[in-house]
Amino acid sequence: MSHDPKGVIERLEAKFVGLTERTPSQDQPTFYVPRQDALVVLEYLKNDEGFSLLLDVAGVDYFPAHPRFEVVYHLFHPLAVIRLRVKVRVGEGEAVPSVVGLWPGANWPEREAYDLLGIVFDGHPQLTRIYLPDDWEGHPLRKDYPTTGRRSD
């Protein structure tokens, strides 16, 4: 698979001048977009460039770095057979826009990132815990979460 057979990255950088930051990657084109512009860039990639399939949304904790988190979107263009990785840096206490309106399949992984890392997704239709009980304190995939856990019941 070619990294960019259709010039997607060049068109993206031309359309969103100064908003995208390409980063080295071994397996697929990868770039960062600012949190506040993530939705418009992802919407462009889906509607104008044909990345109709969202493979995954994942949260990553880089504690003690600032901003602390990244939300990583893995996109796929089924006709051109192109994969693309979009990363958004998110500080603690900040929110990233939900992409459930673009890709309904983002519902579960956004809730997972919220439940396990505490990343908030603005506009999510049901941003509640998905694995842990509602009264659970903390987010167990954070790097500063106590290794012995918080509950004994």
Q: Which two tokens stand for residue 33?
A: 């977009």
- According to CATH, the topology of domain 8-122 is Beta Polymerase; domain 2 (3.30.460)
- Mean pLDDT (the chain) is 91
The H or E element containing residue 64 is: none
Write down the domain spans for the chain: 8-122
Model pTM score: 0.90
With beta carbons less than 8 A apart as the criterion, state whether 89 and 31 touch. Answer: no
CB count in 10 Å sphere of residue 148: 7
Closest CA to 88 of 103, 72, 106: 72
Q: Hey, what amino acid is at 110?
A: E
Residue-wise pLDDT tens digits, 79-91: 988 899 999 999 9
Tell me: pLDDT of 11 over 50.
yes
Residue-wise pLDDT tens digits, 88-146: 999 999 999 999 999 999 999 999 999 999 999 999 999 999 999 999 999 999 999 98
